[in-house]
Structure 1
């Protein structure tokens, strides 16, 4: 017996140095299927095994593919490819005694991801909008207006909408983006996005988009201004509380301003909403109201600054042409007025490719819309994708961008680029790139964590979200912002609450903590969920 103890210790030690990172949810049968192995020991002459869960039957055995690079303290990196396996079932990967989380190959995997992501929005609802996991809140938005240095003691009704993230502020830029993306998802594929899980006769995604449309209609003032932000920096200074217990509930000023950037995304959301409510619901009164608001806002563009700079410094764009082009093309599709189409073409061409995706970088949407009329605009999308592809081939986990604030939203945006490009060109040459970004979010990452709550075996649980923390729940549909450079996190001097179980996987470039105090890497946002819903919906097979 004594002779066996050192052997067992050695075996377990060796196994502990090998980590298999794979999409914990799984793959569609026709997907490219891959995993990354990071190790402190050389296993170059070893094989991987793909086993059926339950009986352990070996389905595939093949050599590890050595990658000539390192990751952090791990000096040996390998890739596994098992794309040839298309049989549906539940599996795990095994390398020298180490095994991955279980995952599936199936056609219907991604329905539940979309359903989970959608559950986030009722938690974010503000005002009299039937919120979930908290009571009606912020009933007096807003009691005064702030225009630069000028305070206007005037009540304006901007109740409703969604809280932006883990805090309780509201922003026209992100509510417009989110509303647009929910509507766009439905328009892109009504079959996949017509699910009605609450069985009230309205597609869930349109029911939620209506929350956004109603707030946007309130946010356009009679003059040339919008309410661009509700609540100031104090929201983040009074401590964690439920929204109905907010001591600032009756002291939430509305900042007003305008800019071509806001006019663009605002008009786009309302113009698209007008078409859907006219065709899907046969509700011409609301459709006309949305379209009138969109045209009224768009008419102000010639007198507006390029970008809005009002508020307290959050969600400020640096460019406007892509968003204004989107507003123009959506107005064209709603009115068939040729002047909108002409302006959309000019603006979209000037905006060009931007090699990025975020709430503020959405040129690809106008390029996609225009490519349906002139395929030349697809060249901008291809330029972006080529840039992402080149970056993806230069790092261990095949990310199309380097980590920053909001990494996961950008990765989902890369997948979105492919989906749009495939629709207009019928080319799938970037499909593997899209799958790799999706897989990173779901576990094929240094920490082996799924960044979406309740999806996968090991997922982000301690999100920076007041309601989830105070209610002691796992946040429904929570989607962590994802890794950021350690230097960025150090700049904000985050006071972490818990020890770091992922310490051995952290690097200067890739740093992630599942800690409720981390509002950079671990905070969910309405914008990231909107992007992810579109992407995960594409991979669903709802009929």
Structure 2
């Protein structure tokens, strides 16, 4: 009779999934498993039924934890799924485990241990594998390519300093995404978030090296990697301090290796949003590199101040001609106020000069930029946080306003998180390009507030974003290449496609309600994802996507 009962229950649970973070959990962090039944599959479950969850050791099947799952709850606002969940936080013994419902599905195998260091290592090391202008021959991953893009780049249009066709020395930097373009906008915001992760969580980067060519030089590996991006930004600065927008070819390259992309590549027009973002990132580098490389710190500060002099003498320059985007992304930010605010804060923090604080004070009187998840469109949250935490001699009234917005921003994110059955603070109809990045960037906002006023629920909600991108989602998908049992296997990534070798540690964009290819249907919410190469709107990684992944992973790796 018991066997028949179990079989009947298993039949009713056909199509159900047990969802876990497929990498695993730290012994000290909350741990939840979710039983998910897609719409229409829960009809046969009798009212009042409560599933029993077991956690078993992967090597011998021994049950080490058992409990009743709470539920059901219907995730009406995001997926429509019926969910049950169990909290097994009390299980702290390191090892490898599987979660199983009695008479129902089993989860992928996962670990309990220092797993967030593994996530941090993979996500941070991916930048090395995205380096441009250098041969890569990595024995750890097998990723390799010959020297690429060693003639970057040629000035596209006449400007006050260079005639069109003049070659500038602009090699280096990171390939931005699945293509081989290089963009100041994303490089600066990415570098800044990596710098901030190191500044707040240096202990997370202390135990392990990233196995870079520079490893062992007395500088933390993450800073050496950031330097690779910052050095390229120096090369994109014009003699008057302005910074060019991007470097790319006139045509999108095919799915070829980077050394096969031999078209002439151009340095595109300057913009003030790029100039301000670069200034802010350089100013951050000036303070964070100072204990390790004083000469580099001075160089970064000089570049930042030169950029600011250009900004102080110039109104907005935000021209993005459509013809400039035939072979690269536009990254057309139409407002530079948030970028200027951020630059002013970082320059004031590192120099203490009144000029920069006067600019901040004027913005406080006339209108502060919106406080939002850090992105290439609006990085002002970094300025908010650094003014509050590092600007000890600032204006108390300005500080109070910024603190208020940081805390209000976290409350808003948390309220949305609470409405989502999967704990992702994105509701149905709001899954846009880079939704995975948005989820993690909102996790950053929660952690910013947690630093100011520690609240365990904010930390738990931030952790839920790691869980979401690593498997606790309606597709039971890890969205990070090389991590988990069901990672992306066909990312929109030219080197991966051309070489057949996976670049691990890359976060792909994730579900998107607004497809641009035929890989998915529109308005599918958290199911609007396809693990196919052509689906660049859902399955392409990008350096700025990985930045909040590094930040959130660093917080929990520092435990």
TM-score range, shorter chain: 0.7 to 0.9
Counterpart of 1:242 in structure 2 is: 257
Does residue 535 (structure 1) correspond to residue 552 (structure 2)? The answer is yes
SS at match of 1:535: helix
Counterpart of 1:296 in structure 2 is: 306
For the 8 Å contact 1:18–1:98, the answer to whether it is kept is: yes
SS at match of 1:430: helix
Q: What's the CA shift string for 1:89-125, capped at 9, x where partnerless?
A: 433322232111222333x111111111123212211
Counterpart of 2:422 in structure 1 is: 397
Q: 1:71 to 1:6 in 2, by over 3 A?
A: farther
Select between 160-169 and 17-26 the one with higher mean Cα deviation.
17-26
Structure 1 residues 459-538: aligned runs within 5 Å: 459-485=487-513, 488-489=514-515, 492-494=516-518, 496=519, 507-508=524-525, 510-538=527-555
Q: 1:58 to 1:214 in 2, by over 3 A?
A: closer
Does residue 287 (structure 1) correspond to residue 297 (structure 2)? The answer is yes
Does residue 253 (structure 1) correspond to residue 266 (structure 2)? The answer is yes
Structure 1 residues 54-203: aligned runs within 5 Å: 54-69=60-75, 76-95=82-101, 96-106=103-113, 108-128=114-134, 133-146=144-157, 152-194=164-206, 195-198=208-211, 199-201=215-217, 202-203=219-220
Q: What's the CA shift string for 1:379-422, capped at 9, x where partnerless?
A: 21222122212222223312112311011111111111122222
Q: Offset of 1:336 from its aligned partner?
A: 1.8
SS at match of 2:504: coil
For the 8 Å contact 2:250–2:266, the answer to whether it is kept is: no
1:38 to 32, 36, 39: 36
State how far apart, in whole Å, the 2-side matches of 1:424 and 1:71 are.
30
Select between 197-206 and 115-124 the one with higher mean Cα deviation.
197-206
Does residue 328 (structure 1) correspond to residue 344 (structure 2)? The answer is yes
Q: 1:418 to 1:11 in 2, by over 3 A?
A: closer
Q: 1:8 to 1:83 in 2, by over 3 A?
A: closer
Stretches of structure 1 lacking an aligned partner (at least 5 in a row): none
SS at match of 1:253: strand
1:47 to 37, 45, 51: 51
Does residue 226 (structure 1) correspond to residue 239 (structure 2)? The answer is no
State how far apart, in whole Å, the 1-side matches of 2:290 and 2:79 are.
58
Structure 1 residues 7-46: aligned runs within 5 Å: 13-39=11-37, 40-41=41-42, 42=45, 44-46=48-50
Aligned length: 519
SS at match of 2:85: strand
Q: Offset of 1:138 from its aligned partner?
A: 0.9
State how far apart, in whole Å, the 2-side matches of 1:290 and 1:116 are.
27
Counterpart of 2:288 in structure 1 is: 276
Select between 78-87 and 344-353 the one with higher mean Cα deviation.
344-353
For the 8 Å contact 2:193–2:548, the answer to whether it is kept is: yes
Q: What's the CA shift string for 1:224-270, capped at 9, x where partnerless?
A: 53221112451x2x42111111131xx112112121x2232211111
SS at match of 1:78: strand
Q: 1:305 to 1:163 in 2, by over 3 A?
A: farther
Q: Offset of 1:539 from its aligned partner?
A: 0.8
2:222 to 199, 205, 209: 205
Counterpart of 1:410 in structure 2 is: 438
Select between 521-530 and 263-272 the one with higher mean Cα deviation.
263-272
Q: What's the CA shift string for 1:354-400, capped at 9, x where partnerless?
A: 44342222222111111124552222122212221222222331211
Counterpart of 2:472 in structure 1 is: 444
Q: Offset of 1:463 from its aligned partner?
A: 0.8
Q: Offset of 1:129 from its aligned partner?
A: 7.0
For the 8 Å contact 2:433–2:509, the answer to whether it is kept is: yes
Q: Offset of 1:72 from its aligned partner?
A: 9.2
Counterpart of 2:141 in structure 1 is: none
For the 8 Å contact 1:355–1:385, the answer to whether it is kept is: no
Stretches of structure 2 lacking an aligned partner (at least 5 in a row): 139-143
State how far apart, in whole Å, the 2-side matches of 1:300 and 1:144 are.
20
State how far apart, in whole Å, the 1-side matches of 2:9 and 2:547 are.
45
State how far apart, in whole Å, the 1-side matches of 2:257 and 2:98 are.
41
TM-score under structure 1 length normalisation? 0.88
SS at match of 1:186: helix
